[in-house]
Structure 1
């Protein structure tokens, strides 16, 4: 069964064959997203990207997605266009400690609140799908101001700062670790992120009496 999690303006969903060429087109050097998303790590070699694309093609064709998804596509709610991905991996599988990530590839879609909605839906999904986890982590660096704002807006707390741990273009930056506990997420979004966004929307557009 395929996963699709509808939001207000975006959806999180499984990969589709039409996404693969779009994904491949973003995984080339000198893309603006990479200047912010861990630029201290090089892109994978092209042969590794091709292997991943073919693995995804086989998974899509056979409809053999893992029960708990490790990656979902961010798509436009109206057009279903591929915009980016959300992901997670174990920081420590032994202690049920996951780290989340998000990429919206096209800068045209930045600074519109789509990352808040997408990562919020993803956190809702992971706290539901992984009942043993007590927390979610998010890692970034002090040069990525947008990701820092996103983490804080969602309610993540800055828990670690590794001073001068990253170098980008010969300049030192701090490595940052954010976290949010299950009970903190539940208190902040008791009915989920979409209910929260709907309330915010109603408050913004409520006519004056």
Structure 2
């Protein structure tokens, strides 16, 4: 388990999938979490998520990455998930992502704590030197949280996302170990 100031990152359990199923089928959450891929993200049967869990989450490879469930420290509530993936051991880089499904925990600093906790683990325990992520330009809450944690915009793919009938840019952000240590 990895502990932050407000959250704890734990291994995903089969029980956690029930909450993830609920969140993924919340259209507003799916749009924020997946952008133009939300049509694939929501309406996913629980059985499909369980099959994915059995096939992929039960065997963890450092290079493939890892998915964590996010729990609050105060009340032990499961509020979201985060992951790292696309680890390159030569360039010492990885890609991260996160989502908070419980709306009561939005705008409370939980996202920033998730990012800091995951980044600290990747930089200090795995000796990575660069972490990147991407989101869509309409997800202002996520962009603010990433910038608050030191991520900088490194690129923009213009009109690369299509959410709720409008085009948005894909925002690529990165964080260098040398900027935070």
- How far apart, in 1, do the equivalents of 2:124 and 2:157 lie? 31
For the aligned residue pairs, the C-alpha RMSD in angstroms reads 2.4
CA contact 2:35–2:161 (8 Å) conserved in 1: no
The structure-2 alpha-carbon separation of the partners of 1:67 and 1:141, relative to structure 1 and needing over 3 Å to count, comes to closer
Greater strand share, 1 or 2?
Answer: 2
Matched, 1:110 2:101: no
CA contact 2:62–2:87 (8 Å) conserved in 1: no
Q: Among 107, 132, 138, which residue is 1:137 paired with?
A: 132
The offset of 1:98, in angstroms, is: 1.0
Indicate the residue corresponding to 1:23 in structure 2.
20
* Runs of 4+ with deviation above 3 angstroms: 53-56, 64-69, 91-96
The offset of 1:91, in angstroms, is: 6.8
Partner secondary structure for residue 34 of structure 2: coil
- How far apart, in 2, do the equivalents of 1:84 and 1:120 lie? 15
Deviations 1:164-208 (A, max 9, x none): 12122221111111111111121xxxxxxxxxxxxxxxxxxxxxx
- How far apart, in 1, do the equivalents of 2:142 and 2:122 lie? 19
* Aligned counterparts, 1:153-168, within 5 A: 153-168=148-163
* Aligned counterparts, 1:45-194, within 5 A: 45-46=44-45, 47-55=47-55, 59=58, 70-90=66-86, 95-131=91-127, 133-186=128-181
- For structure 2, the 5+ residue unaligned runs are none
The offset of 1:5, in angstroms, is: 1.9
Deviations 1:46-101 (A, max 9, x none): 25323124447x84xxxx76578611111011322211111011175663331110
Partner secondary structure for residue 155 of structure 1: coil
The offset of 1:12, in angstroms, is: 1.3
- For structure 1, the 5+ residue unaligned runs are 187-209
- How far apart, in 1, do the equivalents of 2:150 and 2:22 lie? 33
